[in-house]
A and B are shown apart, each in its own frame.
Chain A
C-alpha cells in the first residue's frame, strides 16, 4: 500500500480534509476493499445459494442436513476471516462473535450447527455482500477510473477514432450528439469534472463502505443477545462487589465508631455507679456521667448518619422530598428543580438519591463552584437526574472522583451516566435511569 499518510499529517492544517483525503492510507485501503468487494460478493452469494439449495434439495437423503451444517460452519469461518480483515485492514472495530460450541455426538454437532445464529447471520451477510460489493465497486470505478480518464482527456483525445457525423473529422468525444469536446475550454471543463470526481471519490466510497460497516457489525459481530449477556455478566459482578464492599464499610463503621462509643458509654456509667455506691464524691461521678452523656450524643449522631447512608428513610415519602433536604444540606448552594410525575421503584429511587448525593458532594469537593443546580424529572418511562455546576470542569469517569463507581451502579440497572466537563467548566453530569430495573 502507498504510505502517504505521513505527508498528509504534516500538511498545513489550513488545507481542509476534503482535499487531502486522496493522500491518506485509509483512502487507498478503502479503494482496494471497494474493488475487491465485487469478487467477494459474487463468491459469497454463489457459495450461499449453491450450498443452501443443494442441501435443501438433498434433504430427503442423509447428505442434506450434514451439508447444510457444514456449509454453515464454512460461512461462519468466511465471515470470521472477513471481519478480521476489515478490523486489521480498515481499522474497523467489530468484536468477535461467540465461538462455535458443538453438542455431544454427531447429532449434537448437527443440531448445534443448524441452530447456530452466528452461522445464519454470516450467510445473510454473504448474500448481502453481493449488492454491497457491486455498489462499492461501481462507486470506486466511476469516481477513480472516470475521474482519472476525464482529467487526462486533454492528452488522449487525439487518438480517438474519427467521427464524421457533420461531414468534418472530429477526433473527440461526443456529448448529446454533435457537441464535440475538442476545443480548449471544453477540454478544461472535462478535466475539471474529472478532478472533482477524484476529490469526491474517497468520500463517496467511504459512504458506501459505511453501510457495509453497519452490516458487518450487525451480522458478523456478536449477536445482540451475546452482547447483552456479556454486559449483564459485567454489571452483575460489579453489583456483587459493590454490595460486599458496602457491607464491609458499614461493619467497619459500626465496629470502629458506634460500638466503641457504646463501650465507652457503658464503662463511664459503670464507673459512676461504682463511685456512687462507694459513697465517693458525687462530683467525680457527675464528671463521669457528663462524659457518658457526651459519648451517647455522639453515638446518636453517628448512628443517624450511618442509617441515612444506608437508606434515607425519607425516600419512602418520595424522591423529591429527599432531594430537597439533600440540596439544603449541601455546602455549595444548590438550586433544585423537580418534575417527577411517575414514581420509580424503590431500588431506582435509592440509586438516584445516592447518585445525586455523590454528585453534589463532588461539586463541593472538587469543582470549586460557587453554585450548582440539581434537576430531576421523569419522562417516557425514564428518570433523568442532572447536576450542573459553574466550577472548573475537567471531571472524568475514572479519574478517581467516584464517578466510575456511580457509572457502574447506574449501568447495573441499565441506566446511563454521561459527563460533560470541559476544562474550565461548566460541568454537567446526567444520570438516566429506567423507572423500573429489569424492564427492558
Chain B
C-alpha cells in the first residue's frame, strides 16, 4: 500500500511510519497538518491516508475537515481517521453519504498491530473500518431503540461487527462461530430491521448506519 500520514505528534508519526515500512508498505508522505496532507494527496494520490483529528493550527477538528475534503475531492483514496477520542458527531459527519473507503479508529488500536494494518488495508481497498466504540456510540445514539430491542444478544453482536465493516468471514472469526451461522444471523437482522438485503460489505455497513442515524 502507498500510505500518507497526517499526525502532529512526531513520536506517533515516526512510530506509524516505522510500523508500516516494517510491514513492507510505502509511506509516501508523513506531515503534521491537514493542509499539507491535502497538498500531498493532490500532488500524487496514495491508496490510503491516516489522519489525526486534532492538529494545528486550532487543535480542534482540522483532521476531520481535511478527511471530509479528501473524501469529496479524491473518492478513490481511502481515509482512516485516527483519534484519541471517538465523538459521535464526528462519526456521523465522516460517514454521511458513503462508507466507501473510510475508517474511524481510536489511537489505542495501533497497539494491536496486525488488526490495525488489516483495518488500514480494508479501507485502502474501499472497505470500512469502524472502531467498536464508534459503533457502540452510534447504536446508543440511535432513535430506533425499540427495533434494536427486538434483536437477540447474539444478533446485536453480529450487527456491531457488521457496522464495524467486517465481512461475514471476519465476523465468524471474531465471534468464533461458523460462517453459515453468521449468514443466518445477518439475514435475520436485515429482516427484523426492515433493511433490503445486499451482497457487498459496503452496502451492508451503509444500510446499518443509515438505519442507526435515521
Contacts and interface: CB of A to CB of B under 8 A. Distances in A.
Contacts of B87: 314, 317, 321-322, 324-325
A297 B58 contact: no
B42 to A, nearest CB: 25
B141 A313 contact: no
A126 to B, nearest CB: 61
Closest 3 CB pairs of A and B: A328-B141, A328-B137, A328-B88
B108 A328 contact: no
B116 to A, nearest CB: 12
25 contacts: A293-B111, A297-B108, A297-B111, A300-B107, A300-B111, A307-B84, A313-B54, A313-B60, A313-B85, A316-B59, A317-B61, A320-B89, A321-B87, A321-B90, A324-B87, A324-B88, A324-B141, A325-B85, A325-B87, A325-B88, A328-B138, A328-B140, A328-B141, A333-B145, A335-B143
B171 to A, nearest CB: 23
B84 A330 contact: no
A32 B87 CA distance: 68
A314 B85 contact: yes
Interface string B126-170: 000000000001101101010000000000000000000000000
Contacts of A327: 88, 141
Nearest to B137: A328
Contacts of A316: 58-60
B131 to A, nearest CB: 13
A321 B137 contact: no
A322 B86 CA distance: 10
Given A304-B84, A313-B84, A330-B140, A296 B89 contact: no
Interface string B34-65: 00000000000000000000100011110000
B95 to A, nearest CB: 14
A322 B89 CA distance: 8
B19 to A, nearest CB: 14
Contacts of B140: 328-330, 333
Interface string A300-319: 11001001100011101100
Given A300-B107, A327-B141, 10 more contacts: A293-B111, A307-B84, A313-B84, A321-B90, A324-B88, A324-B89, A325-B89, A327-B88, A328-B140, A335-B143
Nearest to B93: A321
B156 to A, nearest CB: 15
Contacts of A321: 87, 89-90
Contacts of A333: 140, 145
Interface string B79-109: 0000011111110000000000000000110
Contacts of A324: 87-89, 141
Given A297-B108, A325-B89, A317 B60 contact: yes
Given A324-B141, A329-B137, A301 B108 contact: yes
**A interface secondary structure, majority:** helix
Interface residues of B, number: 21
Interface string A268-310: 0000000000000000000000000100110011001001100
Nearest to B140: A328
A335 B86 CA distance: 19
Contact of B111 (A296, A314, A329, A330): A296
Interface of A: 293, 296-297, 300-301, 304, 307-308, 312-314, 316-317, 320-322, 324-325, 327-330, 333, 335
A325 B138 CA distance: 9
Select the residue from B61, B107, B140 with max chain A CB neighbours within 10 A. Answer: B140
A322 B84 CA distance: 14
A317 B111 CA distance: 27
A329 B141 CA distance: 8
Contacts of B59: 313, 316
Contacts of B89: 320-321, 324-325
B132 to A, nearest CB: 13
A314 B107 CA distance: 16
Contacts of B58: 316
Contacts of B61: 317
A333 B146 CA distance: 11
Contacts of A320: 89
Contact of A325 (B54, B108, B137): B137
B62 to A, nearest CB: 10
A195 to B, nearest CB: 64
Contacts of A329: 137, 140
A304 B85 CA distance: 8
A316 to B, nearest CB: 4
A330 B89 CA distance: 15
A307 B143 CA distance: 29
A316 B57 CA distance: 13
Contacts of A328: 88, 137-138, 140-141
Contacts of B90: 321
A380 to B, nearest CB: 26
Contacts of B141: 324, 327-328
A325 B143 CA distance: 14
Contacts of A322: 87
A296 B107 CA distance: 13
Nearest to A370: B145
Contacts of A313: 54, 59-60, 84-85
A330 B141 CA distance: 9
B163 to A, nearest CB: 14
Nearest to B88: A328
Select the residue from B54, B86, B89, B107 with max chain A CB neighbours within 10 A. Answer: B89
Contacts of B85: 304, 308, 312-314, 325
Contacts of A330: 140
Contacts of B84: 304, 307, 313
A257 to B, nearest CB: 16
A297 B113 CA distance: 12
A431 B87 CA distance: 24
A327 B142 CA distance: 11
